[in-house]
Structure 1
Amino acid sequence: MFKIFNRPISSHITIYLPQISSLFSIWHRISGVLLISFFFFGLYSLKLSIWWLSFRLYGFAISNFIIYLIFFVCITSFFYHLLNGLRHIFWDFNLFLTNNLILVSGILITTFLLIFQVIIFKIFIY
């Protein structure tokens, strides 16, 4: 018969702390997928000529929120992908590869991402 033990499935999961570089790499891939998805959805909507749909949805308050949310996700993923791509280019040239500089570059990416978001929202929304 089967005996059920009260043990974790993988012991390394409970003791493993995710590194900032691995998290940024995963988010870099996710932002690339989001950018490609938005790009192809935009091309598809232009092909079908459903640009008029945005004018019909403009009058509803919930649609404005959805449009701003899509704009926020698109701009955030674009700037994150751009900044993290620059970081990877620096790494390809063997620059900033010490542990301290990897942490500092991660903090700089998030700081510049927040600054760019505030600037873009001040320009386009208000």
Structure 2
Amino acid sequence: MNITLKQAELAIQAAKERASQLGTLMNIAIVDSGVNLVAFVRMDDAWIGSIDIALRKAKTASYFNMESGEIGKLSQPGGQGWQIEHSNGGLITFPGGVPITNTTGQIIGAIGVSGSTVEHDQAVARAGAKAVK
């Protein structure tokens, strides 16, 4: 099962609201479980360089069914996932990518957010993912 456009729009709206609460501007990407882009928003004046980062965070979370920051923990020098960020056309292994699950807990896609600190990116991504449940 994949995320629907309606669900993706809910996630984006919640993420935008959280970004506004934090006083930051974000790029927000939603991919389905097959890592295909479903929806994308660049808030006015959000960094252009963060467009690709948001999409790669979403893809990373979807490829591995876990938050992108968790992949980062595994990819430290000497770790079992060392240099994994070079796979799959380039991954982002710091926080801001979160799997999206449906009401039964099945992963249906992922959200990737970029435009601020990793703490803000993560908070905004989690708010978007939570909105779909």
TM range (shorter): under 0.3
Q: Greater share of strand residues, 1 or 2?
A: 2
The TM-score, its normalising length taken from structure 1, stands at 0.25
Bigger Rg, which one? 1
Report the TM-score when normalising by structure 2.
0.24
